[in-house]
Amino acid sequence: MSISISKSQTHVQFNPVEWLDRDLSLLAFNSRVLDWAKRPEVPLLERLRYLCIVSSNLDEFFEVRAALHSSVENPKAALDAKGAHAQHSLSQVAHALVAEQYALYNDVLTPAFAKEGVYILSHGERTLAQHRWVKTFFENEVRPLLLPVVLDPAHPFPQVANKSLNFIVRLSGNDAFGRDNEIAIVKVPRSLPRLIRLPDKLSGKRMLFVSISSVIRAHLKDLFPGRDVGDFSQFRVTRHSDLAVDEEDVKNLRTALRKGLVHRNYGQAVRLEVSAGCSEHLSNFLRHQFELPESALYRVHGPVNLVRLNQLIDLVDNPKWLFPSYVPSFPHQMTANTPIFEQLKLGDVLIHQPYESFEGVLAFLREAVRDPHVLAIKQTIYRTGADSALMELLREAVQRGKEVTVVVELKARFDEEANINWAEKLEYIGAQVVYGVVGLKTHAKMLLVSRREGRVIRRYAHLSTGNYNPRTAKLYTDLSHLTCDVKLTQDIENVFNLLANQSKIPRLNKLMIAPFHLQRNLIEWVDKVAAAAARGVPGRIILKMNTLTDEKLMDALVRAGQAGVSIDLIIRGACMLPAQRPGVTDNIRVRSIIGRFLEHSRVFYFRTGAEEKVYLSSADWMNRNMLRRVELAWPVDDPVLRQRVVDECLVAYLHDNMDAWILNSDGQYTRAVVTKGRSMKSRVAHGAQAALMDLYAAKV
């Protein structure tokens, strides 16, 4: 598919713009998420959850991105003044964000929990009876799992796994052999709970907890009889965790990745966290051990892994400190107890998750699995989780004699093991499992069903902006599109053939596919609107996605804005395109929506005069998505459904003044505020997610 456009239209002169830094923008996104943890109107356990989400995001940031800024990985960066400055700035921002997290935890959330009678007791806060209980717990449940190692030539520094909890201890006195080896390491097994609730008889009317680090810290001396314990500190090292497999040089990608998973926890160290009171002697010892610069050392005032505080949410489990339970409705376009295949013959169906239930997608697959007229099912799998009803349905389909083909993306970051396991289970019972195209990740979300109806085989399909995981489908906003459109389903069939046998595909009717022509076609659409605007025809572009970092696509948007096109960008996370820069991006506005649900849908809207086009897509506007992944974008042709997408996914978000953040000309984000206009409407707070929850909430 391509757009007819003259060569002159694609080379409009424009004033260039300096892009914002991607990683600083990503850290800014996490600051916006952290803001939810600061808000007193947010339920207390949800505030803690947002704090944990930021900590988890930062862990992944360091695991994936930090090595890019390391002088070891990128020696040229150290020689480039601008690169060195950017690296220094990035380190400053990261340190400031971590400090803000711990200040919020210690000075705001901990007192708020204490006010409600929930305490995590330190060693010094425990009563004598509580000390005895903790001592017994340590002896019975913890000590048998610990094996402290005192370092000497025969006992070198042990392998420390990525993000694991450990202690470093400085000892004085001599060991059993008369030697004065002073440094010991205590590794804390992941099997131990990070929070332990004290019995009610020791808590009164309160909920009292102790952390595993506090339990071990209180009994370090017991681990080294005959030695004096001096300085000590908990510590955690974060390691570079991207799996590096040369796909061109392996015979079996699945086997190579499974071997790689064994070593993932022991990659290059990129960050070291220690207690705030850790001595310089011990912190320097650890830094040198892990070969890290001073900037990679983070001194924290609290547990070195805030993510594990998520356990407190489950342990407390008080509904009044959580968001009110939300029950999504069954997709309103679908009629229960009526065959979905018959419904799709009457028209396409859109499901707006999580406001409408993912059960609609499962119902479609379930019907396909159990319909005797269905001959074949093909599906892509990127992230589906270790426990998936969807994958169990595919297994059932194989057992019922359907031809099942599954394209499993083995390199879905941090889901590799679950995907490998599913691939092996499906292959074992007879499904055809393929792993896409060497060198490309298959990120497209598509499901194709072939059904015999009389003398013909009719295809039915599901396309999604990004989710086949039933668990995260309750937390992420996405659009599911069910159709039996002949041209669209033929395109999907051709893409599956491409993934299975890498043969050239015929010209597609409706789909745009990366890495072949998605980027080019999107640029042509932007340039088409720009060319019309230059002729005096009103032009409008609205784009909703997670990330905007592709320079060619951003160049096209800048050209269009300078040609007079009004452009609104709804970008949840990193955005490198500066907004509202005088003379450069005056017509471009950028906003980020951070709410109860994770914004995940990708919607592209183009209008010239009265002509408008709406595309849904699995792809963000990133270079990797356009050139190194298999991605799809497809049109919403039905005018009623197209208007629904515009109203729910674009207009509602452009009017959001509760959860929206605005990117200013200085590159900083500020929260949108309720305007003080004359009309009552302009002074009403509006949250897009809240409005959609009200619209679609199930009547229970």
Please indicate, yes or no, whether residues 67 and 166 belong to a single structural domain of this protein: yes
In order of 140, 248, 519, the CA distances from 439 in angstroms are 51, 8, 18
Residue 375 has pLDDT above 50, yes or no: yes
Please indicate, yes or no, whether residues 165 and 190 belong to a single structural domain of this protein: yes
Dihedral, 151, 157, 161, 167 alpha carbons, nearest 10: 30
What's the CA gap between 19 and 107, in Å, rounded?
37
Kindly report which listed range (116-120, 391-395, 453-457, 570-574) carries the lowest average pLDDT score: 391-395
Helix (H) or strand (E) holding 608, with range, is: strand 602-608
pTM above the 0.75 mark?
yes
pLDDT band at 3 (very low <50, low <70, confident <90, very high): very low
What's the CA gap between 258 and 539, in Å, rounded?
50
3-state SS of the chain: helix, strand, coil percent to 5?
A: 40, 25, 35
Q: Where a domain ends, among 484, 510, 536?
A: 510
The reply to whether 34 falls in a domain is no
Please indicate, yes or no, whether residues 486 and 550 belong to a single structural domain of this protein: no
- CATH code at position 216: 3.30.1840.10
**pLDDT 10s digits, 350-367:** 999 999 999 999 999 999
Residue 674 has pLDDT above 80, yes or no: no
Which pLDDT belongs to residue 249? 47
The total number of structural domains in the chain stands at 3
What's the CA gap between 641 and 390, in Å, rounded?
26
For the CA atoms of the chain, what is the radius of gyration? 28
Please indicate, yes or no, whether residues 465 and 530 belong to a single structural domain of this protein: no
**pLDDT 10s digits, 457-474:** 999 999 999 888 888 899
**pLDDT 10s digits, 188-200:** 999 999 999 999 9
Other CB atoms within 10 A of residue 562 CB: 22
pLDDT band at 87 (very low <50, low <70, confident <90, very high): low
Question: Best-predicted range by mean pLDDT among 5-14, 71-80, 251-260, 364-373?
Answer: 364-373
Residue 699 class from Cβ within 10 Å (0-12 exposed, 13-18 middle, 19+ buried)?
exposed
Q: Where a domain ends, among 290, 321, 352?
A: 321
The reply to whether 191 falls in a domain is yes
What's the CA gap between 439 and 299, in Å, rounded?
39
Report the percentage of the chain scoring pLDDT > 90.
73
**pLDDT 10s digits, 479-530:** 999 999 999 999 999 999 998 888 888 899 999 999 999 999 999 999 999 9
- The backbone region for 618, taken as left when phi is positive above 0, alpha when psi lies in -120 to 50, beta otherwise, is alpha
Question: Please, what sign has the CA dihedral across residues 292, 298, 304, 309?
Answer: negative
Which pLDDT belongs to residue 76? 41
Residue whose tokens read 């009171």 = 277
Per the residue annotation, which of 69, 219, 240, 443 is the catalytic one?
443
pLDDT band at 679 (very low <50, low <70, confident <90, very high): low
Across 29-179, the runs of DSSP E, i.e. the strands, are: 118-120, 149-150, 166-172
On whether the CB atoms of residues 589 and 567 are closer than 8 A, the answer is yes
Q: Where a domain ends, among 510, 541, 559?
A: 510
Active site residue 88: no
Q: What is the layout of strands, in order, in the sheet containing 183-187?
A: 149-150, 183-187, 166-172, 228-239, 269-275, 297-300
Helix (H) or strand (E) holding 525, with range, is: helix 518-534
What's the CA gap between 525 and 286, in Å, rounded?
54
pLDDT band at 590 (very low <50, low <70, confident <90, very high): very high
Question: Domain range for residue 413?
Answer: 340-510
Q: What is the mean pLDDT of the chain?
A: 88
- CATH code at position 492: 3.30.870.10
The reply to whether 1 falls in a domain is no
Please indicate, yes or no, whether residues 469 and 532 belong to a single structural domain of this protein: no
Which pLDDT belongs to residue 675? 64
